[in-house]
Amino acid sequence: MIDVKNYPFSGWRAEKKAKAKYLLGIVRFCGWGATIILLVSFMFFRS
Domain membership of residue 17 as a residue range: 12-46
User: Does 3 fall in a domain?
Assistant: no
User: Does 36 fall in a domain?
Assistant: yes
User: Does 40 fall in a domain?
Assistant: yes
The pLDDT, as a whole number, for residue 15 is: 83
What's the total number of domains in the chain?
1
User: Does 5 fall in a domain?
Assistant: no
User: Does 4 fall in a domain?
Assistant: no
The pLDDT, as a whole number, for residue 32 is: 95
User: Does 33 fall in a domain?
Assistant: yes
**What is the Cα–Cα distance from 11 to 2, expressed in whole angstroms?**
12
The pLDDT, as a whole number, for residue 13 is: 77
**What is the Cα–Cα distance from 21 to 18, expressed in whole angstroms?**
5
The pLDDT, as a whole number, for residue 10 is: 65
Give tens-digit pLDDT for 1-47. 555 565 666 676 788 888 889 999 999 999 999 999 999 999 998 87
The pLDDT, as a whole number, for residue 14 is: 80
User: Does 2 fall in a domain?
Assistant: no
The pLDDT, as a whole number, for residue 36 is: 96
**What is the Cα–Cα distance from 36 to 20, expressed in whole angstroms?**
24
